[in-house]
Amino acid sequence: MMRTVEAIIAELKNIADNPKKAMEDYKSETGKGAVGIMPVYCPEEIVHAAGYLPMGMWGAQKKQISKARTYLPPFACSVMQSVMELQLEGAYDDLEAVLFSVPCDTLKCMSQKWHGKAPVITFTHPQNRKVAKEAANVFCREEYALVKEKLEDLLDVRITTRALQNSIAVYNENRAVCREFCDVAAEYAATIKPSDRHAVLKARWFMEKSKHTALVKELIAAIKSEPAKAFTGKKVIVTGIMVEPYDVLDIFDENGFAIVADDLAQETRNFRQDVPADADPLMALAKAWNEFDGCSLATDAAKPKGQMIIDAVNKYGADAVVVCMMKFCDPEEFDYPILLQEFEAANVRNLFIEIDQESTAFEQVKTRIQTFAEIL
């Protein structure tokens, strides 16, 4: 008997809201633990190929920061403040290791000031990836090879080429299913609320990917089993690092906004493209990174993100773009004036709101979204 859309979303939301339980369940099922994945753009496939659970580390909603102030400057983004606070409280002590990419100054700082029990593995993505592609591929592959070697030592496992290739296939299938879900959610905008969409995509950070794939496939089938209802609200695309706490997404829903596509580091940017086929899986992962476009944390002097969002506006018939700016995210803030110019030149209506995971008051965001809804 087919489960309801509501039941499947509730299961995924429960996982998204309880990552520690998801980790404990995985350990009880497999006998192996989890490796922390600091946002963003770590080669999770290497951890997966070792048989361990890659566990996303995105902080906590409405987490009050106190201890972290000792180690991070007040202008560090709230995601990093929250993660630092949690690790100082021991929330990540059960992880086998923590994997850091360091595309911004705050992540570099975090990797050097980590005080948790789990050992840290740090690697660097090439900054010359768009101007010296072959050299960038070789450099990135070598960084991933070091990650693999360090994981093998820490976890006492051997990560084979075949295991890596299998993991890449598992992840590519998950990416394809997530892209399909996003398109279905856009078509069924009257059914899938912004908070539902977010929960489905956030859960993938805390699940073994083939299990997430199976659940999302089940969800897509359940959604498609009913005809799409007419949507009478406004369709928007969100861009930024993340849209949390849930209160912000609820404000979208209350004002008749449906999220028909996103350009978020926590969501679509992670499954926008597949890892290409290559006999050398580490080189395949390196090429995937160097071909990746559209994130302020991924160096590219051409700055293609604005046009990519404008193309999505046209594809999905969106009424507007909502820029969800993570407070104190320097790379995103640096690119915002470029985005704004491009949106205005293309006559794309847009709204700027500030995202702060620590926030517990949302009156300003609510007022801005209400006003914007009235003029659309």
Q: Is residue 76 part of a domain?
A: yes
Q: Is residue 310 a part of any domain in this protein? A: no
What is residue 361's predicted lDDT score, i.e. its pLDDT?
87
> Which amino acid is present at 84?
M
Q: Taking a C-beta distance cutoff of 8 angstroms, is the pair 261, 182 a contact?
A: yes
Per-residue pLDDT at 234: 97
Strand order in the sheet with 350-355: 257-264, 234-240, 320-326, 350-355
How do strand 97-101 and strand 53-56 relate by DSSP bridges?
A: unpaired
| Residue 168 covered by a domain | no
Which phi-psi region, left, alpha or beta, contains residue 98 (left: φ > 0; alpha: ψ -120 to 50)? beta
Residue 277 lies in a domain: no
Q: Which of 64, 89, 91, 68 is nearest to 80 (CA)?
A: 68
Domain-embedded: residue 42: yes
The CATH number covering residue 133 comes to: 3.40.50.11890
Which pLDDT score, from 0 to 100, does residue 2 have?
A: 86
* Residue 144 CA, distance from chain mean position: 20
Number of domains, the chain: 1
What per-residue confidence (pLDDT) applies to 62? 87
Q: Which domain holds residue 63?
A: 30-157
Q: What's the confidence (pLDDT) of residue 132?
A: 92
Q: What is the pLDDT along the chain (376 residues), one digit of tens a residue?
A: 889 999 999 999 999 999 999 999 999 999 999 999 998 889 999 999 999 999 999 999 988 899 998 998 888 999 999 999 999 999 999 999 999 999 888 898 888 888 888 999 999 999 889 889 999 999 999 999 999 999 999 999 999 999 999 999 999 999 999 999 999 999 999 999 999 999 999 999 999 999 999 999 999 999 999 999 999 999 999 999 999 999 999 999 999 999 999 999 999 999 999 999 899 999 999 999 999 999 999 989 899 999 999 999 999 999 999 999 999 999 999 999 999 999 999 999 999 999 998 888 899 999 999 999 999 9
User: What's the pLDDT at 127?
Assistant: 87
| Residue 321: inside a domain | no
- Evaluate whether residue 344 is within a structural domain: no
Domain assignment present for residue 83? The answer is yes
pTM of the predicted protein model? 0.96
**Length reported for the chain:** 376
Dump the DSSP string for 340-362.
Answer: HHHHHHTT--EEEEEE-TT----
**Cβ–Cβ < 8 Å for 52, 114:** no
Residue 113 has a pLDDT of: 87
Q: What is the DSSP string of 166-223?
A: HHHHHHHHHHHHHHHHHHHHHHTTTTS-HHHHHHHHHGGGGS-HHHHHHHHHHHHHHH
Cross-strand pairs, 237: 261, 321
Phi, psi of 55 (to 5 degrees): -115, 110
CA distance 42 to 128: 18
